Amino acid sequence: MQPKERKKRIVDSVSFNIGANEKVSLLGHNGCGKSTMMKMLSGIIKPTEGSISINGLDPFRNRKKLYEFTGVLFAQKSFLYPDLSVKDCLDLYSGIHKQSKSQFHKRLTMLDDYLEIGRFQDQPVRTLSFGQRMRGEIASALIHDPSVVFLDEPTVGLDLETRNKFNALLKDSGILNDKAVIIVTHDLPVVRDFTDRTIVMAQGKVQKVLQKAELEQLTTKVSYQIKTESKVQASLLDSINQHPALLAADRIGEQQLELKFKANTGESTVQSLISQVCNKSGVNFCERKESLDFSSIYLSDVSQSA
């Protein structure tokens, strides 16, 4: 065997600024360079070219100084010691950052309100489930009240209830209001509701930067569920599905259908299609729903990078 060494740029000519207290998400397919970017920002990896400055410090050269004011979480890398309890790990990190005992207990209580770590905080980390450990990891990243926070896939392994609590910690608790946060996540409500700006990456490059309003506009998919007075005929479905503003018209039973519209479809177009249904089958009930659909962003990234 004669293996050939091939160099590949994982992150290529990426440049961005993040202000104090700003919340930014990194979004993109697996393998696009998001986690590598986070490792460079947190001082774990040294970039082969270019430079990074966080509060005037080079993260790789000044890791000890950097860790004084940053909190870091990587889903695939544990910062908790397996033979210590969660509380002992958090107490240790708090002591390293020179918090008083009263500050530590106040902070721990605040985090426990959302992460509910009190039920297992005295157990050794090695005995915890993955979801419990992730809650401990989140607490370890925030226990010392850092001003800059790096979160790489923080909701991995969390059940739905705990994920909702974590989302509430992000959006409602105020714990992160005065912090700069960079988050990598595929939890799309977090991207839309928590972050001010989204950096979309593909094949190691920044493809686009979206402000909060732009992201919501691009990714909010509107659908209408309609209950009709009479049976929905196949000819009506065929006619509606030919409309360019419609993503799909699906029949759900004989007297119910769902119309899915592209983002930014005008209200007059929507009403025109609903009127068409009403004229043919009558309408008993119509409900509007919104959901997130990031496929348009991902698809455009692939085409631009090809």
Rg (C-alpha) for the chain, rounded Å, is 24
Note whether 184 and 38 are within 8 A (CB): yes
Q: Residue 301: which of 217, 200, 210, 209 has the closest Cα?
A: 200
The rounded distance, in Å, linking the Cα atoms of 28 and 105 is 38
The first and second tokens of residue 161, run together, are: 């209830």
- Write out pLDDT tens, residues 172-226: 888 999 999 999 988 777 887 889 999 999 889 998 898 887 777 666 677 888 8
User: Alpha helix locations (H) across the chain?
Assistant: 34-41, 63-67, 86-96, 101-115, 130-142, 160-171, 188-194, 212-219, 234-241, 267-281, 295-305
Helix (H, G, I), strand (E, B) or coil at 276: helix
Domain 23-202 fold is Rossmann fold (3.40.50)
Domains 23-202 and 220-299 share a fold: no
**CATH dotted code for 220-299:** 3.30.70.1560
Q: Which residues of the chain have pLDDT under 70?
A: 217-220, 262-264, 290-306
For the chain, domain boundaries:
23-202, 220-299
- Write out pLDDT tens, residues 114-147: 999 999 999 999 999 988 999 999 999 999 999 9
